[in-house]
Structure formats: structure tokens, C-alpha cells
Amino acid sequence: MGAELIGEQIVCSSTVCPAILIAAPASGQGKTTVACALARLHARQGRKVRVFKCGPDFLDPYWHALASAAPVHQLDLWMTGELDCRARLAAAAQDADLIIVEGVMGLFDGEPSAAELAQRFGLPVLAVIDASAMAGTFGALAFGLQHYRPGLRWAGVLANRVASERHADMLQSSVREPAQWLGAVMRNPAMSLPERHLGLTVASEVNDALQRLDVAADALAATPLGQMSLADLKRWNVSFEVGNDAGAEPSGVKPLAGRTVAIARDAAFCFIYAANLDCLQDLGAELVYFSPLADSALPECDAVWLPGGYPELHAARLAANTSLRDSLAAHVAQHKPVWAECGGMMVLFDELVAVDGQRHAQWGLLPGTVTMQKRLAALGPQQLAMHGHVLRGHTFHYSTCTTPLAARCRTARPDCEPLPDAGEAVYQVGSIRGSYFHAWFASSPAATAALFASTSTSTGAVE
């Protein structure tokens, strides 16, 4: 297999591999189920499958990784960048039998959209349509998706949540080009993927997760899509190329060499891009992990990363872990850096108020109260300027915080200047930096290094 780490130079000629982008007219159509079913179906047959997720998503990749038994990375023309996308796809193509990319929202939604990604890399598009409440309109919708954007390579259409064989026949007859029909998947609760307020439930928390994927794979196996052989898949061959400088770090400097970064990782803190871990290691850091739910103290470390997750689902248990709270406070007292993202920041405040009004004391390292909301409080791409560099990422949260702290700075939307009353606040108290902003570390290794650098070599300032 070719080089996987994007921080290193990758030199290769074009590599051809079957690839497909699984899209839909909207969210909730069953893209993830179909993507996982297709990956699981081929992985069970001993084939090497690599799955990617379009856009900034932490949750779907847990299911993709379970289905494919391989690492899953994000592709986003803005957040991760075209060179990063190209390098990851090219590296995967050198070893994979099939590459699957799951789109985000509807095919043409967002900026950049899944359609733009597909067109940029020549990925054929498979449209998954929830057909549970339609018949003849299915064909019109499929036709519109195929022809709305000129030059989009098309793989076909799959009907999802179909009621019966007769229903499937009606749907198939509505498709103008018979060769575009890739089958119907019947409605079956046994293959549904459970959800909660931030999206899918993490696969590791679902006892029968693999069984659900096997049911979905079995259902897909009965369709023309599921019956395609490796030879059939070659109709979706894509030539992936990457230049000598794609994703390269020309200096080769490892500013975190000799430093240990402790990362919270458990059911409460699980929003971690695999590429972020790769980036920290590329910068020279040694990574160790701890569980704020179960561990009584931090491991020996020079810096701490508290990623996002679901502290609101574990607020009482986190509040009770006063020994870990004290260990973290001692870490801060030694002026060692802490970067806290979204859920990782929430637990640092004095108090968390649940949707039902129940109040939970938290760790009290930042003054203020976090309050859960019934509706989404913020969503979208964001960027953070620091130390003359720019970190790209996104925001996605259901809580708000009330604090006497003034924002040290704020994030901004793409191609916009930070505004005093817009973007996500970045709070700083001593060596703690916290924000609702989720960073894609590889977008600026230099800024990432500054987040975890020693306070003796960093001013500690965000700007």
C-alpha cells in the first residue's frame, strides 16, 4: 500500500481503482446504511474496502470502520482541502479493491457539496432514495439528480425502504434508463442504525451493531448492486493521481517531538478525527489515552486534548470523578496546555443543565454554565486564526454557555473576517483553551503544534 500519512511526500503515477460516491436527495434517506452494507458485503468476501466520509462527520465513520475493517477519513474540499483529499484517495487506491465515499446531506447541498467532490475526482454517483412514500415520482427524482449538474458521472439509483415486490416493480418501471436501476432494499427495522440528538449512535455502543450491518449486507446482496463482481465494478474505475508536493510538510520539523499528549477517549469523548491523531504523531508527539469516565488521574503527559462527544449523557458520572478533575487541575497549575473542543470544553464549566432542567455540577475549571437545548444551536464550517496560521474545522452543538469570560478571539466562517458577535468564542484561562470549534489539525500543523506546545515556548495567546 502507498503512504497513508498525508504529512509525507507521496510520489506515484495514476492508480486505477473502482470507486463510488453514495449520495441522496436529502439527509435521512439511508446513505450510511447502504454505504456500510456495500462495504460489509465486499469485506465479507475478503475484498479490501476503503470508506471515506464527505464533510466533517465524527459518527458515520464509526459504522464505516466497523463495516470495512479499515481506517476511515473525511474528504472535504474546503476543510481538508483538495490536495489532502487527492492524496488520501490515491493512497487508498493503491491497495483497495473498492473505494466508497459517503456523501453529506443531499447531493447538491452545502458549499462545497458532495456533487462537487464527485465531479472533481471523477467519482460515479449512486443515488439512494427513500421510496417509502412514492411510486412514479421516484423516476423523476432519479432523473433530476442525474441531470441537474452537467458532467456528473452517474452509477445508478437504489430504492430504499421499499414496501413490497410490487412496490419495487413500480419504482423500477419509473426509471427512464433501465441500466440505471440498481435494485430495491426492503424496509426492515433489523438493519436500521440507531440515532440520537447529534446523529447516529456510536457503533461501539450498539451491542448488535455488526449484526445490523450483516442484515443490511444480506439485503443488498439480493439487488443488482449487491450482485456485482469485481469485474463488474471496473465500470466505476477512477484514475487517482497525486503530485510530488501533495500534502507535504517541506520543513520536516517535528515541533512536538519529545512531548506526550494525553487524549480523552471514551463514550463521553469520542469525536476524534483519525487524521488528527496522525497529524499529532507527524508533529512528533507521543499519544496516550485516558477515560474521564473511568480513570482517576491523567497519565504522565505534557499536554491534554479533550475532544468533543456526549458529556451531557454522562454528566453525573463525570461530576462524580473528582479525582480526575483534581488531576487535571494540577496539570493546569503546572501551566501545561489543555485544548478542549465542544464537549471537552463543556465539562470544564461549573455546571451543566440538561434538557429536562436537571443541573449537574461539572469540573469548575472554567466559570459559567452550559445549558442543553432542544434544537441545534450552531452548525457549519469555521476557521480559527492563531499565531499567523489558520486552522479549519467546523461547529455542531446543541448547547449554549453563559460565562463571565470574555472571548479571547472568535472563529469565522470561510473567507470571512472574525466579528465580535459572530463565530465561536475561544476562551482562555491560564493554560486552558476551549471552544465549541472542532479543528481539523492537518489544515495547519503549525497552529496545531502551538495548541499543544510548552508554555515556555509559546506565548499562550491565541492571536
Catalytic hit among 85, 301, 342, 409? 342
Stated pTM of the model: 0.90
Least Cα distance to 97 among 212, 241, 5, 232 occurs for 232
Amino acid at 308: G
Residue 352: inside a domain = yes
Q: Are residues 206 and 279 in the same domain?
A: no
Same domain, 203 and 321: no
Digit-coded pLDDT (tens) for 406-423: 999 999 988 776 666 678
pLDDT in tens, 65-116: 999 999 999 999 999 999 999 999 999 999 999 999 999 999 999 889 999 9
Instruction: CATH number of the domain at 206, please.
Output: 3.40.50.300
Domain hosting 408: range is 260-452
Residue 248 within any structural domain of the chain: no
Asked whether residue 359 falls in the same domain as residue 227, the answer is: no
pLDDT at 246 over 70: no
Q: How, if at all, do strands 378-386 and 349-353 pair?
A: unpaired
One domain for residues 174 and 314: no
Computed over every residue of the chain, the mean pLDDT equals 90
Instruction: Kindly state whether residues 280 and 428 are assigned to the same domain.
Output: yes
| Residues 126-151 pLDDT 10s | 999 999 999 999 999 999 999 999 99
DSSP codes of every residue in 397-416: ESEEEE-SPPPSEE-B-TT-
30-52: average pLDDT: 97
Residue 463 placed within a domain = no
Binning pLDDT at 50, 70 and 90, where does residue 196 land?
Answer: confident
Same domain, 278 and 167: no
Contact indicator for 392, 79 with CB cutoff of 8 Å = yes
Which of 71, 64, 65 lies closest to 22 in space, CA to CA? 64
pLDDT confidence tier of residue 1, bands split at 50, 70 and 90: very low
Q: Are residues 81 and 214 in the same domain?
A: yes
**323 in Cβ contact with 420 (< 8 Å):** no
Query: Which of 216, 242, 268 lies at the terminal end of a domain, its last residue?
Result: 242
Q: Are residues 439 and 334 in the same domain?
A: yes
The residue-averaged pLDDT of 244-271 equals: 80
Best CA proximity match to 173, nearest among 199, 128, 135, 226:
135
Q: Examine residue 160 and state whether it is found in any structural domain, yes or no.
A: yes
Number of domains in the chain: 2
At CA 427, angle to CA 424 and CA 430, rounded to 5? 160
- Give the integer Cα–Cα distance in Å for 279 and 80: 12
- The amino acid present at 119, given as its one-letter code, is Q
Cβ partners under 8 Å of residue 252, min gap 6: none
253 is a domain residue: no
The three cell numbers of residue 317 are 458520572
Instruction: For residues 231 and 282, state if they share a domain.
Output: no
Give the number of other CB atoms < 10 A from CB of residue 245: 12
Active-site residue 279, yes or no? no
Is 292 part of any domain?
Answer: yes
CATH number at residue 345: 3.40.50.880
pLDDT of residue 247: 42
Q: Is residue 116 part of a domain?
A: yes
* Pair (120, 58) in one structural domain: yes
SS3 179: helix
- Looking at the domain assignment, is residue 247 inside a domain? no
